[in-house]
Amino acid sequence: MQLSKLLERVEVLECRASLDTQITGISYDSRKTKPGELFVAITGYETDGHKYIPKALENGAAVILCERKPETDVPYVMVASSREALAEVSACWFDYPANKMTMIGVTGTNGKTSITYILKHLLETACGAKVGLVGTIQNMIGDEVLETERTTPESYELQKLFAQMQSAGCTHVLMEVSSHALYLHRADEIPFEVGIFTNLTEDHLDFHKTMDEYCRAKSILFRRCKTGVVNLDDAYESRIVRDATCKVMTYSAENNRADLVAKNIRLKSDRIEMEVVTGIDICRIELGIPGGFTVYNALAVVQAGLALGISLPDIAAAMKTAKGVKGRVEVVPTPGKPYTVLIDYSHTPDSLENVLKTVHGFCKGRVIAVFGCGGDRDPIKRPVMGEIAGRLADLSVVTSDNPRTEDPNEIIRQIVEGMKHAQHPYEVIENRVQAIGWAMDNAKENDIIVLCGKGHETYQEINHVKHHLDEREVVASYLENER
């Protein structure tokens, strides 16, 4: 592709390269650069791609796209933001695949994964659509599963994935859109038909620093979509709506001002039931996933379905057959035991509080929480989560999550700071496998053990190394060794 074609949407500050140059590919990692490629030098938070321009040239880069003039005399194109430019040239390279599908983005602290999976089922069931999914647990092209490293890939990989989806016949794409992806321009050049806002609670403050900055990053989605679906009951709703440039449709379980309101909510041990009211219509919704937060996930899906032109009866019929998501209030088999073990990806204060309240709603014995906090992440939430567990769990086991490069015992100490006035007892066991075993040893009839924080993850990250740790296997192994 000619350089002039690649740059058609890029705001160029200075060009010292022939626009007729034939570009053979795009790279932003100098180690992977091949002859004839355009190398994009990204200014990152851990390193600066401009330092690797010589390596990219050594590997055969034809032109450098950069924010600062290279130190050597080489063909280059200078721009104000190489991250924005990477998104623009990547979309062009793959011939704007997102423009050829219906794009739906979901952002917020909690609920993104569940909403995308339920909405995927809705689109497949009610519309017969082939759906691509970009998410925390995995990426999917229809039923084909692709592993993923982070919620939203870098813009080049994202556009490449869209091209694969479009080529495979996908008509719709569902994306979990992280605040990092929005702020760092990974999600640029995506024409979202619908954007969904779930909620905003304390998370990622190691990156965004303040809740206002975190909210500002999330609100970017609602300047990129045609219709915004917004949770009216969230404290940050007014900020999201105020900054939105799209049409906004709201949902609520509490406020009759919303465009979609839940009424007569019934929380069962295995499902939720409710009526949803749109102002002109009313319909009974049943979804086989327990929990008060499931009400909000269901409302988001219903409102998004309506925004996409699906009828309320068709939405209700599809919701009735939707299943839960791995690692979200997932029941782990414990044959012959009088207690229950659940796995949940509750790694934020809000999600921990939600899951513990949910389990209390159907637990006939004690709620036992096994939890920790990740290292190299927002430390402010650690004592907050300790306080929540001490207040809501009948018994807590404080353990290690993904300590990464931090001392796990120091992380635990910070959690326990919040448990000084705990209403219920707690135990500290740093080794997560041993902590799970201790909880199972001490569980009584009708107790429910909630393994919080890991969810779908099957590893524990320590000093940049991911060690295999699947809590389903831990539970099964423990039961096997008991025999």
pLDDT at residue 189 in the model: 95
> Where residue 201 falls among pLDDT bands split at 50, 70, 90?
confident
> Where residue 205 falls among pLDDT bands split at 50, 70, 90?
low
Mean pLDDT across the stretch 422-433? 96
pLDDT for residue 241 is more than 60 = yes
> Where residue 179 falls among pLDDT bands split at 50, 70, 90?
confident
> Where residue 378 falls among pLDDT bands split at 50, 70, 90?
confident
Mean pLDDT across the stretch 345-357? 92
pLDDT for residue 462 is more than 80 = yes
Mean pLDDT across the stretch 274-303? 93
C-alpha 207/C-alpha 210 separation (Å) is 9
The C-alpha angle with vertex 97 and arms to 61 and 117, in degrees rounded to 5, equals 120
Specify the DSSP class assigned to residue 353.
H
Instruction: Please tell me which residue, 437 or 325, carries the higher pLDDT value.
Output: 437
pLDDT for residue 151 is more than 70 = no
pLDDT at residue 208 in the model: 47
Mean pLDDT across the stretch 146-170? 87
pLDDT at residue 137 in the model: 83
> Where residue 203 falls among pLDDT bands split at 50, 70, 90?
low
| 144, two tokens | 């084909």
Q: What is the pLDDT of residues 393-415, one digit of tens each?
A: 999 999 999 999 999 999 999 99
Q: Are 67 and 156 in contact (CB under 8 A)?
A: no
Q: Are 25 and 86 in contact (CB under 8 A)?
A: no
User: Mean pLDDT of all residues in the chain?
Assistant: 93
Element (H, E) at 312: helix 312-319
